Amino acid sequence: MLLDNLNLFLRIVEKGGLAAAGREVGLSPASVSERLAALEKYYGVTLLTRTTRAISLTDEGRLLVEGARRLLAEAEELESRVRLGSETIAGHIRLSAPEDLGRRCILPIVDAFLAEHPAVTIDLNLTDGYVDLVGQGMDFAVRHGLLADSTLRAKSLGENRRIVCAAPSYLAAAGTPAHPDDLSRHDCIVMRFGQNIDRDWTFLVGGKPHRVRVRGRRVANDGGLVRQWCKDGLGIALKSIRDVEQDLASGALVELLGTYSAGTTALQIVYPHSAVQPRRVRLLIETIAAAFSAPAMKPHRVEELHT
Q: Which residue has the higher pLDDT, 154 or 114?
A: 114
Smallest CA-to-CA distance from 269 within 127, 153, 107, 133 is with 153
- Quote the pLDDT of residue 289: 92
- Quote the pLDDT of residue 110: 95
Query: What is the CATH number assigned to the segment(s) 1-84?
Result: 1.10.10.10
Mean pLDDT score, 187-197: 87
Give the confidence band of 147 by pLDDT, cuts at 50, 70, 90.
low
Give yes or no for a contact between 255 and 248, defined as CB atoms under 8 angstroms apart.
yes
- Quote the pLDDT of residue 303: 40
pLDDT > 80? residue 148: no
- Quote the pLDDT of residue 294: 67
**pLDDT digit string (tens) for 20-38?**
888 888 888 888 888 888 8
Q: CA 295 to CA 214: how far, in whole Å?
A: 32
- Residue spans of the domains in the chain: they are 1-84, 160-265+298-305
**pLDDT digit string (tens) for 100-109?**
889 888 999 9
Compute the residue count for the chain. Answer: 307
Judge whether 1-84 and 160-265+298-305 match in fold: no
pLDDT > 50? residue 279: yes
End-to-end distance of the chain based on CA atoms, in angstroms? 71
- Quote the pLDDT of residue 13: 84
- Quote the pLDDT of residue 164: 95
- Quote the pLDDT of residue 82: 66
- Quote the pLDDT of residue 295: 57
As a whole number of angstroms, the longest Cα–Cα distance in the chain is: 75
Q: How many CA atoms lie within 13 A of 152 on its CB side?
A: 22
Average pLDDT, the chain: 84
pLDDT > 90? residue 62: no
pLDDT > 60? residue 65: yes
In 98-235, DSSP assigns E strands to: 120-126, 140-144, 152-166, 187-193, 196-197, 200-205, 208-213, 215-220
- Quote the pLDDT of residue 299: 38
- Quote the pLDDT of residue 206: 85
pLDDT > 50? residue 120: yes
**pLDDT digit string (tens) for 198-237?**
899 999 888 889 999 999 999 998 888 999 999 999 999 9
- Quote the pLDDT of residue 85: 57
Query: What is the CATH number assigned to the segment(s) 160-265+298-305?
Result: 3.40.190.290
**pLDDT digit string (tens) for 254-266?**
999 989 987 777 7
DSSP character string of 71-95: HHHHHHHHHHHHHH-TT---EEEEE
Q: CA 269 to CA 199: how far, in whole Å?
A: 27
Spell out the residues 6+ positions from residue 272 whose beta carbon is closer than 8 angstroms to its own.
Answer: 66, 69, 133, 134, 138, 139, 151, 152, 153
Q: CA 307 to CA 302: how far, in whole Å?
A: 9
